[in-house]
Amino acid sequence: MTTLLPTEVEDRNPLVAARRQLRDALAELDLPGMFDMLATPRREVTVSVPLRRDDGTVEVLIGHRVQHNLSRGPAKGGVRFSPHVHLDEVRALAMWMTWKCALVNIPYGGAKGGVTLDPRNYSRGELQRVARRYTSELMPVLGPATDIPAPDIGTDEQVMSWMMDTYSVNRGHTVLGVVTGKPVALGGSLGRASATSRGVVHVALAALRHRGVAVAGSRAAVQGFGKVGRDAALLLAEAGVQVVAVSDQYGAVHHPAGLDVTALAAHVDATGSVVGFAGADPMDDGDDLLFLDLDLLVPAAVEAVINADNAHRVRASVVVEGANGPTTPAADEVLADNGTLVVPDILANAGGVVVSYFEWVQANQAYWWSESDVNNRLAERMQLAWESVVETAEQRGTSLRRAAMVLAVDRVANAHLARGLYP
Ligand code: NAD
């Protein structure tokens, strides 16, 4: 078999994890010879992003865009601005996007992109120049029928506005459907900002009930207090869950009787971090939040935080992956042995791409839906995906991750086979 991508066996390399999950799913399906086709991205673009800094010096940053699969429609996926962006990570994230879109049955393939930089070290003007130059370098491969970016770690609706504007100026007319996660004033969808968190909480509550745990008074912790973690914590608290601990990259805070998440959010708005929140105790090591005695753990930050070294310390009954790839394959096995129910990323955090799809549909039709329409249709899709994954897992006697992968990979493989190979 040809091996076109790096395959170093390293528990925390997201690409190794993504390829292993694909191999496991294909082993369940009668689809011989599909591994290389599905493990290999259709297109990868690496670009230089020369940036004129505010002090007049020029720094050359590196950006990537990977389109993993295009069999079911245009590529779709977020853009990261993070110092940890590297090509293997982008490849893995693009592959997970393909499975996620297929699992929730939206007509996209998967993509991902990013620029290697720490946005905290750059001014707003500099970030605008990065977003615009990155977009303009990728003009030939972006477009509403080709590849549609969205926000991810370190990017937001402002970055999406700059990307949309740059693309539109170069095309000579406004193209609202080229990115999603835009501000509502600029063709964004009502409900998009909290959609990922809403989806995470929808399946988290379903998973607790599935486990026979009463939602009211159950105990949860959320790792990451960004676009996904913050609203997930707020919505969990709204549903009656006690959110006992929350962390960000600077540290963690803990309150055994449940944090006042609204007050915590106000503290983060004022200071930029959960650290120093008066209504809670600080935790010595932020990662200790992963090992609390919990009903529900929501990792909503970065990859590989639950890994071979620490999985045996996780005591939560249910883990709902708000982040992409937070559990490594070795950790998955340990959690399964310990009876932990893991709701996989491609199901748990699919709410964001579902409402991105709604935003794209609305933008392409120039016809806007009400927020309740968006939220109801999102809930319907999450519920359908949750039920089909649980049913498949029960039928096959396998984990939710394997079941979700089997459903998704089967859809993508069949689309590929139906189209046939060109030429
Ligand atoms: P974000 O940049 O808005 O927030 C990330 C948060 O994680 C921040 O609070 C940051 O401080 C924290 N963090 C970073 N490293 C950490 C660590 N080691 N320990 C604890 N906290 C840490 O990013 P986001 O958009 O919320 O994305 C978070 C995850 O969710 C990513 O894996 C992303 O791919 C995934 N995701 C995001 C969306 C979306 O719509 N934004 C959709 C699907 C999946």
Interval 64-117: pLDDT, tens: 999 999 999 999 999 999 999 999 999 999 999 999 999 999 999 999 999 999
Inside any domain, residue 260: yes
What is the whole-number distance in angstroms between the Cα of residue 96 and the centre of ligand 1? 16
* pTM (2 d.p.): 0.96
CATH number of the domain that 305 lies in?
3.40.50.720
pLDDT number for residue 11: 81
pLDDT number for residue 94: 98
Torsion of CA 271, 273, 275, 277, to 10 degrees: 60
According to DSSP, the residues that pair with 222 across neighbouring strands are 246, 298
Q: Specify whether the CB–CB gap between 305 and 287 falls below 8 A.
A: yes
Q: Specify whether the CB–CB gap between 150 and 193 falls below 8 A.
A: no
Residue-range definition of the domain harbouring residue 224: 195-348
Active site residues: 112
Inside any domain, residue 292: yes
Domain boundary among 115, 139, 174: 174
CATH number of the domain that 56 lies in?
3.40.50.10860
Same domain (yes/no): 257, 329: yes
Q: Is the CB of 223 under 6 A from ligand 1?
A: yes
Number of domains observed in the structure of the chain: 2
Inside any domain, residue 309: yes
What is the whole-number distance in angstroms between the Cα of residue 104 and the centre of ligand 1? 21
Where does residue 398 fall: left (phi above 0), alpha (psi -120 to 50 degrees), or beta otherwise? Answer: beta
pLDDT number for residue 6: 41
Report the distance separating Cα 215 and Cα 228, nearest Å.
Answer: 20
Q: What tokens appear for 219 in the block?
A: 């105990």
Same domain (yes/no): 211, 77: no
Q: Is the CB of 154 under 6 A from ligand 1?
A: yes
Walking along the chain (423 residues) 10 residues at a time, the average pLDDT comes out as: 41 93 94 94 98 98 98 98 97 98 98 98 98 98 98 97 98 97 96 97 98 98 98 98 98 98 98 97 96 98 96 98 96 97 98 98 95 98 98 98 98 97 93
User: Atom of ligand 1 at shortest distance to CA of 349?
Assistant: 43
Q: Is the CB of 113 under 6 A from ligand 1?
A: no
pLDDT number for residue 353: 98
Residue with the smallest CA separation from ligand 1 atom 39 is 152
Inside any domain, residue 155: yes
User: Atom of ligand 1 at shortest distance to CA of 155?
Assistant: 2
Out of 99, 108, 248, mutate this one to test ligand 1's pocket (max ligand atoms within 8 Å of CB): namely 248
**3-state secondary structure at position 356:** helix
